Structure 1
Amino acid sequence: MYQKLIILSFLFLTACSTYQEKNITYQKVLFSNNCNDTFLKEQMQELNQNKDVIFVGLNSGYIARDCMKFKLSNEFFDKVEHSYKYDVDLQSFSTKSTQFIGKTLINDTISDYEGSWYERTMVNVYKGLNFMSLKDFENARVEFNRALMRQEKAKEYFENEIKQQIEQAKKNENYKQNIKENLQVIEKQYNHLFDDFNAQKNYTNPYVTYISSVFFFMDKDYKKAYDLLKEVYIIFNKNEEIDKEFKIFEKYSNSLTPSKLKKYIFIVYENGLSPSLDSFDLTLPFIFENKVVNTSISFPTLKKRNASFEYLKAKNLNDDFKKTQNLFNFDQVVASEFQATLTPKIIKALLSGAIKTGINLTIAKNDSSGVLNLASNIFTILTTKSDLRFWNFLPKNAQIIMLENDGFIEIYNDNNMEIFHQDLDKNKNILILIRSFSKEFPARIYKMEH
């Protein structure tokens, strides 16, 4: 009976340790597009009870946005931002150290999800787009400014915080004995991954800068729009589409009467899904009391997901069809941050494996009944899992094209099937955002004008 209770306790402790089932649930809800009010209410209740606010809020907020419930979407995202501010950014060093110890002994899922930096900037982008759909350009401006500010903070984080995490891990007494050589072995396992994703040491997302520049252009702040697009132009100066838009923005910025200039349609196509998280196990040698003990350790990895349509094509009344240009690669953005944060994650997993193995060996020596030894081994197996929480719904890439607004637009996919057509107010600049997760699901259309 005692033995069964111990086993049941450990099963209860770690039943949802990877969160993979919840990832699948979120994906099913989004793709079904049934916009179930009950589901969203349940998710909001979880947030109100402070249950893993960032993970739940990111995914639920996006589902609400997909249902065109922009106000509710921002209520979810507001709670995420509040959690970033008070539960993540303001954590004391002692709190972080305590969490590091707890996560090392068990796994990362004993603490609430803290999110990635590329996710943080996109929270503000989608809040800004939600406000644009609500015709609240004043609050949209606040959100796009916050998104740009978070980009700058991300640079500081990767320059300082990760180095501190690694140094903290190296202080552990097991580091030299059991970590250093295994670390080199594991890092080789990831080399092909980063080649495949074209990961680069660049922690900013040019899509955030681009979409912000479009907002400021539509909000008639042409100088700021031009300055922001200049940052994108520096990266993509050989691209014809960016070059064309940059010249238009420059013209508006220098004009004394911009209200008399032509109006434009900005088409943004968010295509497919960015990488998901998966895991793999490696059996590695650890040395205890001059004996080699092999232990299985779990490590996170990225898994590519599919694109939707290769491109879209659009035309106004007077021009021929023009294809969208694929510029902003979220796969690369995700992989770059994953690569930057990988070493501390590996060290933590190795330390966890070393500590648990040491505990198991100690218990085995001193437990004549075998009950505690069995329980300890079960605990190790169940808690040796990677944390697979992430924001499920960011795009694989973002594509753009700009057309003159002559009062009409029609948009087709790469199979010549119509996605959207509409008469437009040719006295306004207009943003049309098309979101397609997969060819099998209808594209979502968001039209914003000002």
Structure 2
Amino acid sequence: MKSFYTASFLFFLLIFTGCAYQENLNTFNRLYYEKKPQEAFVFSKKKIKNHLLWQIQSGVSGYIAGNYKESMSILDTAEKLLNHKQAQGILSNSLSNTGATLINDNVKSYQGSIYEGVLINYYKALDALAIGDNSRARVEFNRANDRQRRAKEYYEKEIQKAIKIQKEKYKKDPKASEEINQNTSSEKIDKILNSQYSNLKHFAIYSGFINPLVSYISGLYFSLQGDPKGMDLLKEAYGINHSKIIAQDMFAFQNNKYDKKKYTWIVIEDGKSPTKKEFSIKLPLYLISSEVLYFGLALPQLEEGISFYNSFDIKTKMGSKNFEEISLFDGIIANEFSKQLPYIITRAIISAVYKASMQSVLTQTLGSYAAIGGALFSAATTAADTRITTVFPHKVWLNRIENNKEQINLLADGREILEIGFEDCTKNKNPPLVEKSTPVNEKEYKICKNSNNIIYIRTTKNNIIPKLIIGEKQ
């Protein structure tokens, strides 16, 4: 009964905090994707105290908004918190939270994912490049790629450990084990899960945990610096997406082509990464126990990300050149989500069993009215943890062009979104550079033709936001 009272308190606390979280996230998304990233950044800073999800949201939106030093500081804090959670075990650490078993996983603090850790270091590298700190950029690119390579081994150990701990805790509760016909329930649940999670087959899940965007931009940076490790990273990215542009880059760097002529790479982050929604499973009561009035599961389901544009092109006087898709964030996120599923499902089932056991105890000790109250409590507290960062793109696009033009035009779905002019920086020592959010109706952007350049562009519903992350900054 003590557990029931504890759970009741946590339940009412959860209702309040859960509603506030979703409302805050909706506000952030509206500001970030429909208005201005600066407004989203200011809003998110109010939420970041000891909260990993909001630290990531704030740090990345800070980079997009042009607040590079502040963004890096916030992401430093996020990295420390994520490292602490990973050291304890992203999954197994949460098993000590009794409230999560009695209520649902929303009472836990946000644990984060490996891909988010990779992107924390990645955006810190971009912050460092924006402020001209090349040594810091190298460190962060190295950390991002190291996280990717260690992810597979981490998850293989962590998930098995988490499931084992959770099942052992369940076995220690004889009452819970006695009350439920586990074999019959498991068969029914398995059929429903196989049906509900069949949508994962539609995601282009990447093998391993490598985000080709991170590998490619890191490899391009190191290669332009003359560091041979860049070639290995380019090969890693090419092995995943088989991009023709990346293949050409590999050949060009091997033959020192980019030392003789200067080029500009354009990288576009577009859309919004996958989100999660809840789906519920309610089993017929005759499969459970005559003393149990409610038995249900609530599980998260991944929903595909959305694009704001379907194609991008470079247009010149000589013709047009299509952008290539080099990274699909759905694939990265779905891969990690699929690895977490065994743990998520196991935990949801055990939570449902505990709640059913509680109903049985209430029926036996206090009668049918208490049982009804227990059933209502179980139904009201059965909810999936659908928290996920929303600041990342859906797809990333790439193009490259030689700096032998006076200007080029960027098209999205056939409509001009940005004009890029090339200036001779040996004549003009102060070329105009745009380092801020650029609304769609302000289309001019100028860079130096005498250097290799990387332009990074973030598209939202109402903004085109270009940044020169590598190039002449005189």
Please confirm whether the aligned pair reaches a TM-score higher than 0.5, indicating the same fold. Answer: yes
Over 3 Å counting, the alpha-carbon distance change for 1:383 and 1:341 in structure 2 is same
CA deviation after TM superposition for structure 1 residue 191, in Å: 4.2
Distance 1:92 1:396 in 2: 25
Equivalent position to 2:468, from 439, 442, 447:
447
The answer as to 2:360 corresponding to 1:361 is yes
Distance 2:156 2:230 in 1: 28
Name structure 1 gaps, 5 residues minimum: 1-5
The 5 Å alignment of 1:189-200 reads 189-200=195-206
Q: Which residue number corresponds to residue 398 of structure 1?
A: 396
Count how many residue pairs are aligned between Structure 1 and Structure 2. 429
Distance 1:123 1:9 in 2: 31
Please tell me whether the aligned partners of residues 38 and 61 of structure 2 are also in contact (alpha carbons under 8 angstroms): no
Please tell me whether the aligned partners of residues 316 and 404 of structure 1 are also in contact (alpha carbons under 8 angstroms): no
CA deviation after TM superposition for structure 1 residue 272, in Å: 1.1
Q: Which residue number corresponds to residue 231 of structure 2?
A: 226
Over 3 Å counting, the alpha-carbon distance change for 1:292 and 1:369 in structure 2 is closer
Q: Which residue number corresponds to residue 311 of structure 2?
A: 311
Counting aligned pairs with the same residue, the percent is 27
CA deviation after TM superposition for structure 1 residue 378, in Å: 4.2
Name structure 2 gaps, 5 residues minimum: 1-6, 172-176, 423-446
Residue aligned with 2:466, SS: strand
Equivalent position to 2:214, from 205, 208, 214:
208
Deviation string, structure 1 residues 328-356 (Cα, Å, up to 9, x no partner): 11111111111111111011111111111
Over 3 Å counting, the alpha-carbon distance change for 1:376 and 1:292 in structure 2 is closer
The 5 Å alignment of 1:82-231 reads 82-90=80-88, 95-99=93-97, 101-171=98-168, 172-173=170-171, 174=177, 177=182, 180-218=186-224, 220-231=225-236
Over 3 Å counting, the alpha-carbon distance change for 1:32 and 1:235 in structure 2 is closer
Distance 1:163 1:357 in 2: 26
Residue aligned with 1:202, SS: coil
The 5 Å alignment of 1:239-278 reads 239-252=243-256, 260-278=259-277
Deviates more, 1:7-16 or 1:426-435: 7-16
Please tell me whether the aligned partners of residues 277 and 300 of structure 1 are also in contact (alpha carbons under 8 angstroms): yes
Please tell me whether the aligned partners of residues 275 and 305 of structure 1 are also in contact (alpha carbons under 8 angstroms): yes
Give the counterpart letter for 1:187 in structure 2: L
CA deviation after TM superposition for structure 1 residue 305, in Å: 3.2
Q: Which residue number corresponds to residue 3 of structure 1?
A: none
Please tell me whether the aligned partners of residues 59 and 391 of structure 1 are also in contact (alpha carbons under 8 angstroms): yes
Residue aligned with 2:383, SS: coil
The 5 Å alignment of 1:406-421 reads 406=404, 408-410=406-408, 411-421=410-420
Q: Which residue number corresponds to residue 442 of structure 2?
A: none
Deviation string, structure 1 residues 47-87 (Cα, Å, up to 9, x no partner): 34x2xx21111112222223211222222211110101224
Distance 1:200 1:162 in 2: 19
The answer as to 2:79 corresponding to 1:81 is yes
Q: Which residue number corresponds to residue 18 of structure 2?
A: 17
The 5 Å alignment of 1:292-371 reads 294-315=294-315, 320-367=319-366, 370=369
Distance 1:68 1:412 in 2: 24
Distance 1:152 1:42 in 2: 34
Over 3 Å counting, the alpha-carbon distance change for 1:304 and 1:121 in structure 2 is same
Residue aligned with 1:279, SS: strand
Q: Given the two structures, how large is their TM-score scaled by the length of structure 1? A: 0.86
Residue aligned with 1:47, SS: coil
Give the counterpart letter for 1:249 in structure 2: F
CA deviation after TM superposition for structure 1 residue 273, in Å: 1.4
CA deviation after TM superposition for structure 1 residue 143, in Å: 0.9
Over 3 Å counting, the alpha-carbon distance change for 1:34 and 1:228 in structure 2 is closer
